[in-house]
Structure 1
């Protein structure tokens, strides 16, 4: 059952993105999970998601917000999993003050414009993570962890842009480079 909705996603610099893609590809080759590749996702941290939003309203908020931000240092230092109906394997970034502030400032900017922030996107309950595999069969979870351990964590880099996608399949509606002061 593929979900439908919208998500604001934080994207990485090319070197960091490639490190994450390497994990996706190994997991796919071992047939542990190909789902992220199939839905045409891109390595990211989800900042906010909702079943329905007004993209044009968000575009303006994100454009202004992103222009005031600098690229954000990220270091993925841990491997984790969510075990629910669709088992997810992910990399967790070290929760730095700058990452947490970035997220809460975005939430504030959205609230000011009357956008409802759902429970899991609220600063007090938000968990930053970068999915590397979805719908992993229970019996393959341990193997998935082993594959990720070979990544030699931490992998570090920067978050460099922020975009809105519709899913799934994933379709990017727009994205802005952090610190980009281009007049639109």
Structure 2
């Protein structure tokens, strides 16, 4: 069964900085997963199995037209040791980004009837848990190489790295080894009212 994600993409300069880290991790054979699935550097804003892509596309087009690009500054490297073993870049807390994601989820709920899981609610229940922005730079890293991956990233990524979130895409994620397929994407602040 496919899963759909709404992703915030970066301006070319910031995207290239993230791709640089992907390529170094791949050359060192620490992680090639994001390259193999043909992902694009991003921050996931929302994800669900149960979406109607045409309704979602219409809601996204209208939403993106009303919002300007978002400033993003990655200031730290983080990790999540789970079945995916992820290394990621952490953006500085940014009210604009948090409000953007919260408004997006509200529009999705109202216009498409999607129910939000706790992981995509800013602050979560009682202010704990919930959505937190991050940008994956390595996935499916073996547990024995997580530390090495972290050290490599500290050498390669000259933090802080700043740029903008400039467009939003809806992507379909197939099975465990399938590639990412972009359904649509919209530039922020394009002035088109869909």
Q: Which of the five TM-score ranges fits, normalised by the shorter chain? A: over 0.9
Would you say 1:167 and 2:173 are equivalent positions?
A: yes
* Partner SS for 1:161: strand
Select the residue among 134, 143, 150 that pairs with 2:148: 143
Q: Distance in 2 between matches of 1:55 and 1:118?
A: 18
Q: Does 1:119 align with 2:104?
A: no
What are the superposed Cα offsets for residues 75-115 of structure 1, whole Å, 9 maximum, x if unpaired?
00111011111100000111210110101010111111211
Aligned residues: 182
State the TM-score, normalized to the length of structure 1: 0.96
Per-residue CA distance 1:108-143 (angstroms, 9 max, x = gap): 111112111122111221010000010000111111
Among residues 168, 189, 192, which one is paired with 1:179 in the alignment? 189
- Equivalent residue number for residue 159 of structure 2: 153
CA distance in 2, matches of 1:4, 1:119: 20
Tell which deviates more after alignment, 15-24 or 139-148: 139-148
Indicate conservation of the 8 Å contact 1:107/1:123, yes or no: no
* TM-score (norm. length: structure 2): 0.91
Q: How far apart are the structure 1 equivalents of 2:104 and 2:28?
A: 38
| Match of residue 43, structure 2, among 42, 45, 63 | 45
What is aligned with 1:89? 87
Q: After TM superposition, give the deviation of residue 183 of structure 1 in Å.
A: 5.6
For 2:68 and 2:193, the matched residues in 1 are separated by 17
| Corresponding residue of 1:102 | 100
Matched residue, 1:79:
77
Q: Counterpart of 2:115 in 1: which secondary structure?
A: coil
Of stretches 166-175 and 22-31 in structure 1, the one that deviates more from structure 2 is 166-175
Structure-1 separation of matches of 2:145 and 2:171: 29
Per-residue deviation, residues 10-39 of structure 1 (Å, max 9, x unmatched):
000000000000000000000000000000
CA contact (8 A) 1:44 1:130 kept: yes
What secondary structure does 1:107 align onto? helix
Runs of 4+ in structure 1 over 4 Å off: none
